[in-house]
Amino acid sequence: MHYNKGTHLIATLHTTEHQLLNTFEAFRTLTENLIETHQLQKLGEVYHNFLPAGYTGVVCLSESHLSIHTWPEHGKVNVDIYLSNYLRNNDGTVNKIYSAIKEHFSATVEQEQYLKR
C-alpha cells in the first residue's frame, strides 16, 4: 500500500471584515459545510468566544484537524488545516478549504506555509 503524506497548511490572514472576527458562529457554519462538501469525518469540536471580541476554534477530524484564532482588533486570522488521510492526496482538499476560508473573510494572505508530513 502506498503512503501519501498529509498536507498541513498554516496561515495568517488579514481582513477588514472585523465583524466576522468577533464571534465564531458564522465560521462554525462555514466549517460544517466544508466538512460535508469534502466528505470529511468530524470527531469533535470546541469553539470559544472571547470578551470583548475574538474567538478560537478547533475541529478534530479523523483525517486530522482544522483550527482558527482571530484578533479583531488587528484584523488577523490564524488558520491551521491539516489533512493526513494517507490513502489519498490531500493537496486539493486543503487548497479548496483554504480558498473558502479566505473568501469567507475577504482576506489577504500575510503569511502561509505548506508542510508535507
CA–CA separation, 71 and 62 (whole Å): 28
| Residue span of the structural domain in which 14 resides | 7-116
pLDDT at 87 over 80: no
- 2 lies in a domain? no
8 Å CB contact between 111 and 11 = yes
Tell me the CATH number at 99. 3.60.90.10
CA–CA separation, 117 and 111 (whole Å): 20
C-alpha cell at 110: 500575510
Model confidence pLDDT, tens digit, residues 4-16: 788 999 999 999 9
For the chain, what is the domain count? 1
- 56 lies in a domain? yes
- 34 lies in a domain? yes
Mean pLDDT of the chain: 94
Model confidence pLDDT, tens digit, residues 24-51: 999 999 999 999 999 999 999 999 999 9
Task: Give the global pTM.
Answer: 0.93
Percentage of the residues of the chain whose pLDDT score is greater than 90 = 86
- 1 lies in a domain? no
